[in-house]
Amino acid sequence: MKSPIEPFRIKVVEPVKLLDRAERNRMIREAGFNVFKLPAEAIFIDLLTDSGTSAMSDNQWAGMMTGDESYAGCRNFYHLKETVKDIFGFDFILPTHQGRAAENILFHTMAKKGDFIPSNIHFDTTRANIEFIGAVALDCVIDEGLDPELEHPFKGNMDPQKLEKVIEEHGKENIPLVALTITNNSGGGQPVSMQNIKEISQICKKHQLKLFIDAARFAENAYFIKLREEGYADKTIHAIVKEMFSYADGCWVSAKKDAMVNIGGFIALKDGDLFQKLQNLLILQEGFPTYGGLAGRDLEAVARGLRDVLHEDYLKYRIQHTAYLANLISEAGVPIVKPIGGHAVYIDAKKFLPHIPQSKFPGQALTVAMYREAGIRVVEIGSLMFAAKDPETGQWKYPELELVRLAIPRRVYTSSHLEYVAEAMVKIRDKKESLKGLKLVYEPPFLRHFTAEMEEID
């Protein structure tokens, strides 16, 4: 596969430095073999997340200088409101400082203890916000979406029958809203089809339920619809996005992904009464409704980023860029999740390192090896992140999937950076039997992957 051509040129550069091997060994040891504890300056290529790590365009940076920092009614809010109306079709918008703040406000206002909230797969922060109020987050993705090797064009789809069953079992009065995560991050960045959005929306309408979209990667999803779904090849991304959201009552957005800003988020919706209710909590927790936890300049960068991301040449490059890395890794015989998602490549660590059992964290062993070998930071999405002790038996339960995610920041790394990452993978492949498992020496009570400390097992 040829490397895709970047549809931009580089105007500002940020130096990155590769520490030598001895220093990398020292750094990872001092970090307790936890890459979240590494200082970013010790990293050469950072694929920890695509969230808030993108490069803004000259147009976005120029917009930052037009920030109106008035407490109430700043012009950038009106620009963002108009942009959201034009792209998503929603009349009401509430800015938040990032995605999880939008989730907190939405679920605290709409849901209560004992409620049920179905989604294809809830992202971690969504699930945590739902569980925090005592409600239950239910994943209803199609069965194909749970098999890492199966090829399916829309593995992020929700199973309509699973949704109907949830409604029948728990009662529509206990379901404040149905959610759809596009693209489906926890399922490998897989898209949801237009047909599926439409079908889920029809089920919601039939039961008078509200449908909300977790739209962090809405443009990547729209591009997959254009590529893979019949009838959309000749439509613009703008038209596809408009149609996607026409089936929903609202959405929440972490603008740190497809809106290509370093911080920001929002809720957008149709219903004016619900907007009023959400606004009360927004004022309490985030700020006045025309800035909601952001500076005027940040609002402007979001408004401009939402337009930038609709450019088809950008999206074509974006999806090909991710696929370029995925194909290089896959051709080297390293097992990856298929088909290739929008924002990241996921490696199947259980299959790649069969000599390390899940109790010794094979995903984390590979994560450590990537840093040691080449100064690359990736993230484990496996037993370190998700294994839980059964409260009754005291036995550890390990997740089905043991993945390592290589998330690609937008407009930041060139194809030669990606080739360097793939070369590091090849070197690790050739000595994979020598990779060691790990044991925990410090473990916090929840979200342990962020602060846990480990040691290597000889």
Neighbours of 325 (CB within 10 A): 25
Q: Is 100 in the site for ligand P71 (CB under 6 A)?
A: yes
Which position among 123, 245, 275, 291 bears the catalytic label?
123
CA distances from 117 to 120, 133, 153, 253 (A): 10, 12, 25, 18
Among 54, 57, 98, 129, which residue sits at the site for ligand P71 (rule: CB under 6 A)? 98
Site string for ligand P71, 402-431 (x = CB under 6 A): -----x------------------------
Q: Is 265 in the site for ligand P71 (CB under 6 A)?
A: yes
Compute the distance between CA of residue 254 and CA of residue 105 in angstroms, rounded to an integer: 13
Which position among 36, 71, 442, 450 bears the catalytic label?
71
Pick out residues in 281-340 that bind ligand P71 (CB under 6 A): none
427 a catalytic residue: no
Only one of the segments 97-105, 129-137, 149-157, 284-292 lies at the binding site for ligand P71 (rule: CB under 6 A); that segment is 97-105
The CB-of-212 to ligand P71 minimum distance in angstroms stands at 12
Q: Is 361 in the site for ligand P71 (CB under 6 A)?
A: no
Q: Which long-range contacts (CB under 8 A, 24 or more apart) does 104-109 make?
A: 104/129, 104/285, 105/267, 105/278, 105/281, 105/282, 105/285, 105/286, 106/212, 106/252, 106/267, 106/278, 107/133, 107/135, 108/133, 108/281, 109/274, 109/277, 109/278, 109/280, 109/281
What is the amino acid identity at position 259? A
The CB-of-51 to ligand P71 minimum distance in angstroms stands at 4
Which position among 122, 257, 343, 360 bears the catalytic label?
257
The tokens describing 73, both together, are 């009614």
Which position among 111, 216, 219, 344 bears the catalytic label?
216
449 a catalytic residue: yes
398 a catalytic residue: no
Helix, strand, coil tally for the chain in percent (to 5): 45, 15, 40
Q: Which residues of 198-211 are buried (b: 16+ CB within 10 A; e: fewer)?
A: ebbbebbeeeebbb
The CB-of-111 to ligand P71 minimum distance in angstroms stands at 16
Compute the distance between CA of residue 257 and CA of residue 262 in angstroms, rounded to an integer: 9
Pick out residues in 110-129 that bind ligand P71 (CB under 6 A): 123-126
431 a catalytic residue: no
216 a catalytic residue: yes
Question: Considering beta carbons, is residue 167 or 448 the nearer one to ligand P71?
Answer: 448
Task: Tell me how many degrees the CA angle 37-42-47 measures, rounded to the nearest 5.
Answer: 75
Residue 451: asked if its preceding bond is cis (omega within 30°), the reply is no
Among 51, 196, 279, 383, which residue sits at the site for ligand P71 (rule: CB under 6 A)? 51
Single out the residue of 293, 298, 296 nearest to residue 256, CA to CA. 298
User: What's the distance, CA 348 to chain centroid?
Assistant: 18
Task: Give the count of residues interacting with ligand P71 (CB under 6 A).
Answer: 17
266 a catalytic residue: no
Among 83, 201, 254, 290, which residue sits at the site for ligand P71 (rule: CB under 6 A)? 254
Q: Is 99 in the site for ligand P71 (CB under 6 A)?
A: yes
Q: Is 279 in the site for ligand P71 (CB under 6 A)?
A: no
124 a catalytic residue: yes
In the complex, the residues that contact ligand P71 under the rule CB under 6 A are: 49, 51, 98-100, 123-126, 181, 185, 214, 216, 254, 256, 265, 407
List active site positions. 71, 123-124, 214, 216, 257, 449
